[in-house]
Structure 1
Amino acid sequence: MPSFEIIVFVIVFTALAFDYINGFHDTANAVATSVSTRAIAPNHAVILAATMNFIGALSGTAVAKTIGSDIANPSGITQSVILAALVSAILWNLLTWYYGIPSSSSHALIGGVIGAVVAGQGFSSLKLAGIQKIIFVLIASPIAGLIVGYFVMTALWWISRNSTPGRVNRRFLRLQVLAATAAAFSHGSNDAQKSMGIITMALFSAGMIPVFEVPKWTIIACAMAMALGTAVGGWKIIRTMGGRIVKLEPVNGFAADLSSSFVIYGASMFGMPVSTTHVVSSCIMGVGSAKRVSAVRWGVAKQIVSAWILTIPASAAVAALSYTVIHFLLGV
């Protein structure tokens, strides 16, 4: 059996790998609309997203504390449980990325933690109140995105009612870059913190830190991993997010990015983990619905929602299987 310190090191490395994969898996969340409307060149969009993801990741640790302490008691979690949760989330992310499905990294990680905890320590080790709160927010946030996207787009149509469509789109072409910047910042503020919470859980359960506080080096490491992953780009998912849900014009892209940044950063301020993929997708649907309901390609939207529903139970099942193998190999 490897030493305890080596196991913790492997967990930290795996959590950073998850953050990196999350970066290229969810790059589309911030840049897809800007790329699809040609507001910004793809290479420049990815660099912008990577930079703002890094800055956003440094903005707080409230989400990290929720992930690390509200699903299960971190002091009673074994290293095999944590590693199994990460392995499950990574496998699900890679699978959905390969097929170009904009699924939720957040759902995959949360499902992975739940499945691994149940397999390793039973249902009694779960914090049901915390899980209920997290799942409520995961469900409510895309609904909020749909509503906010609809009303933001409706307001923009009203403000621009006396302008020609061409003039409106020329005006919002540049503004869309600012909205994409805000969306990338909010993405970093929420998603990068999830790995911070997992690493802190591993350190606390191993007795390497006295209290559940996210170390500074963890914040920097996760921010860098997210930014590097974002810089790689997720072009398959960009094609789905940027054009398959609804045909976007600059004013639509601006409304979608602005709406998603409001919802995601609002959740981050309250320490609530949300799926940035869910929120951005629902904001795009809301924006499209403001034009006309038929503008949204609901068949594609249905496929995406199906992946959303499947993610938590699927990743939980993979985590339970992963725990069995890891516990057998490591004995911890």
Structure 2
Amino acid sequence: MDVTLSHFLQQMASNPILLMTVALTLGVIFVNGWTDAPNAIATCISTRCMRVRPAILLSAGFNFLGVLVMTRINSSVASTISNMVDFGGNTNEALIALCAALFSIVVYSVTASWFGIPTSESHSLIAGLTGAAIAINNGLGGVNGAEWVKVLYGLVMSLLLGFGSGWLICKLLTWVCAGLDRRKANGFFRYAQIFGAAAMSFMHGAQDGQKFIGVLFLGVAFCNGQSSVSGVVIPVWLMLLCSTVMGLGTSVGGEKIIKSVGMDMVRLEKYQGFAADLSAAFCLLLSSLFGIPVSTTHTKTSAIMGVGAVKRLSAINYGVVKDMMLTWVFTFPGCGLISFAMAKLFMFLI
């Protein structure tokens, strides 16, 4: 399969469906980098370790590196997304279905926002691909259960492991720092939390960037007449493209959104913010190495709740837990059904 950049550009020029697929994918990556920036740097801002604009630039740079470096080292998440579904042997119909899946993410996200339903772009992507695969195969035959079950592992990991590691790391820090001078400890954790924010941004890029690299790679394969990407190495130019777009999205992230999330969602001290960032980054690293797609938002939120629970269980924001549950309940069937309908409609019209 020819995966050179020049061949890819030629295919885009001659195939409007591929052009639309690429535009939708890059658009979602850009928005992901924009809207998920608060999750990586919110604690760093709320504890006043960094100002908003420097924190955004830090996050943009490490999001870029996360996509590029982690995909180069271990592309397990991208492989999971690429192999999660089978769009059948007709690669032209498969490309149409893939385009429908991406379009459904946009439709679902706009609709959910209108009705105030919490969303996750990671879960929307998985649901969209699954719905389109069911539509093109007229059944569940196109869903790879061995890969899809990793999504269920991710749901559990983002909640339980995020909460548990956040609680454990914060508890250890509380014990280790019990006899230290508070001013000196705060000085240390100020810089430690900047490191934690960089690590969290890096792992956000590694997780979410790989998901959409997997989608774009599928589109390239379909245009080359291949129904899967098994055994094909992801080209460097594709990593650079996705990492650049995510970095740009993060760099223009709205300061008002970041301030709102940083001040309203978390009320932590510096050592607690460091514990939340470190535990969330650790969970994302584990899931990336094992090829398990998880929601970075849910992982970070769970880690924050685990940190807060060290002092008292009442510190857990059960409203946030409810939003996470609603995301799972609505996103998979909602986005999946929209994707199914869009795939059927696109294949009928084209």
Instruction: Tell me, yes or no, whether TM beats 0.5.
Output: yes
Output the amino acid matched with 1:69.
Answer: N
1:120 aligned to which of 123, 136, 143: 136
What secondary structure does 1:103 align onto?
coil
Question: Contact 2:166 / 2:305 at 8 angstroms: preserved in 1?
Answer: yes
Output the amino acid matched with 1:55.
Answer: L
* In structure 2, C-alpha distance between the alignment counterparts of 1:241 and 1:296, rounded to whole Å: 16
**Shift in CA distance, 94/79, structure 1 to aligned 2, threshold 3 Å:** same
**Runs of 5+ in structure 2 lacking a partner?**
1-11
**Shift in CA distance, 143/149, structure 1 to aligned 2, threshold 3 Å:** same
What's the CA shift string for 1:90-125, capped at 9, x where partnerless?
Answer: 344456678897632211100110111112222211
**Runs of 5+ in structure 1 lacking a partner?**
none
* In structure 1, C-alpha distance between the alignment counterparts of 2:313 and 2:210, rounded to whole Å: 35
Instruction: Look up the match of 1:153.
Output: 170
Q: How does 1:146-225 map onto structure 2 within 5 Å?
A: 146-163=163-180, 167-207=184-224, 212-225=232-245
Q: Which is worse superposed, 20-29 or 43-52? A: 20-29
Q: Per-residue deviation at 1:208?
A: 5.6
Q: Per-residue deviation at 1:310?
A: 2.0
Question: Contact 1:242 / 1:248 at 8 angstroms: preserved in 2?
Answer: no
Q: Does 1:108 align with 2:118?
A: no
What's the CA shift string for 1:253-289, capped at 9, x where partnerless?
Answer: 1111111111102211222221111100110111111
1:72 aligned to which of 79, 86, 102: 86
The normalised TM-score by structure 2 is 0.85
Instruction: Look up the match of 1:26.
Output: 36
1:309 aligned to which of 329, 335, 342: 329
Q: Per-residue deviation at 1:133?
A: 2.4
Question: Contact 2:162 / 2:300 at 8 angstroms: preserved in 1?
Answer: yes
**Shift in CA distance, 22/233, structure 1 to aligned 2, threshold 3 Å:** same
**Shift in CA distance, 97/224, structure 1 to aligned 2, threshold 3 Å:** farther
Output the amino acid matched with 1:72.
Answer: D
Q: Does 1:42 align with 2:52?
A: yes
Question: Contact 2:52 / 2:259 at 8 angstroms: preserved in 1?
Answer: no
Instruction: Name the Cα RMSD after superposition.
Output: 2.6
Instruction: Look up the match of 2:9.
Output: none
Q: Per-residue deviation at 1:129?
A: 1.9
What's the CA shift string for 1:187-226, capped at 9, x where partnerless?
Answer: 1111111111011111212326785432222111111111
Output the amino acid matched with 2:51.
Answer: A
The normalised TM-score by structure 1 is 0.90
Question: Contact 1:146 / 1:284 at 8 angstroms: preserved in 2?
Answer: yes
Q: Per-residue deviation at 1:12?
A: 1.5
What secondary structure does 2:210 align onto?
helix
Identity %: 34
Instruction: Look up the match of 1:268.
Output: 288
Q: Does 1:250 align with 2:270?
A: yes
What's the CA shift string for 1:74-103, capped at 9, x where partnerless?
Answer: 755611210111112234445667889763
1:259 aligned to which of 279, 282, 286: 279
Output the amino acid matched with 1:11.
Answer: T
* In structure 2, C-alpha distance between the alignment counterparts of 1:228 and 1:150, rounded to whole Å: 33
What's the CA shift string for 1:43-82, capped at 9, x where partnerless?
Answer: 1111111100000101222211110113336755611210
Q: Does 1:63 align with 2:80?
A: no
* In structure 1, C-alpha distance between the alignment counterparts of 2:89 and 2:238, rounded to whole Å: 19
Q: Per-residue deviation at 1:323?
A: 1.8
Q: Per-residue deviation at 1:30?
A: 0.8
Instruction: Look up the match of 2:246.
Output: 226
Q: Per-residue deviation at 1:241?
A: 4.6
Question: Contact 2:52 / 2:258 at 8 angstroms: preserved in 1?
Answer: no
Question: Contact 1:247 / 1:295 at 8 angstroms: preserved in 2?
Answer: no
**Shift in CA distance, 92/36, structure 1 to aligned 2, threshold 3 Å:** farther
What secondary structure does 2:15 align onto?
helix
Q: Per-residue deviation at 1:155?
A: 0.5
**Shift in CA distance, 99/221, structure 1 to aligned 2, threshold 3 Å:** farther
Question: Contact 2:88 / 2:136 at 8 angstroms: preserved in 1?
Answer: no
Question: Contact 2:203 / 2:281 at 8 angstroms: preserved in 1?
Answer: yes
**Shift in CA distance, 94/42, structure 1 to aligned 2, threshold 3 Å:** farther
Question: Contact 1:40 / 1:177 at 8 angstroms: preserved in 2?
Answer: yes
Question: Contact 1:49 / 1:230 at 8 angstroms: preserved in 2?
Answer: yes
Question: Contact 1:30 / 1:180 at 8 angstroms: preserved in 2?
Answer: yes
* In structure 2, C-alpha distance between the alignment counterparts of 1:220 and 1:323, rounded to whole Å: 29
* In structure 2, C-alpha distance between the alignment counterparts of 1:252 and 1:323, rounded to whole Å: 46
Q: How does 1:1-12 map onto structure 2 within 5 Å?
A: 5-12=15-22
